[in-house]
Amino acid sequence: MYSKQIIDRFQNPKNAGGLRGANGVGKVGNAKCGDIMKMYLLINEDEVIEEARFKTFGCVAAIASTDVACDLIKGKTIEEALKVTNQDVYKLLGTMPAHKIHCSVLAQESIHSAIEDYYKRKGKENKNI
Ligand code: FES
């Protein structure tokens, strides 16, 4: 059973869609369930995440998790965003069924994947990823 917060985020995601000019794009998937998440970041010269958007092909919890993850990292520096965990995500979603926790993990991984892509484009490396 999904919480009210999960249903609400699924039905009215605030951050769904692509992002023109994104300079960090991550893509992750879960082989077992087949869900796929794409995260788009616009990171400024001070390495602050100005905008975050997502496209998720997946379950209700996956869509809600990615939407919350975008909110959690907007306005944060890259280093701060890398500290956002799946627990931070599912705490904002109320109770999450145990078999859906991996959806929040995937959201965390999508953040890391997008930041990794940002560093690749810059020809840099971040050991915290
Ligand atoms: Fe796999 Fe949701 S069921 S990400």
pLDDT per residue as tens digits for the range 55-99: 999 999 999 999 999 999 999 999 999 999 999 999 999 988 999
Q: Establish whether 70 is a catalytic residue.
A: no
CA 42 to centroid of ligand 1, rounded, Å: 26
**What is the per-residue pLDDT for 103?**
96
- How much is the pTM? 0.95
Mean pLDDT of the 24-37 span: 96
Residues 6+ apart with CB under 8 A from 89: 65, 68, 69, 72, 104, 107, 108
Radius of gyration of the chain (CA): 14
33, 36, 48, 101: the active-site residue: 33
Can you read off the two tokens belonging to residue 26?
């991550």
Q: What percent of the chain has pLDDT over 70?
A: 100
**What is the per-residue pLDDT for 1?**
83
CA 26 to centroid of ligand 1, rounded, Å: 17
Q: Establish whether 59 is a catalytic residue.
A: no
Mean pLDDT of the 17-41 span: 97
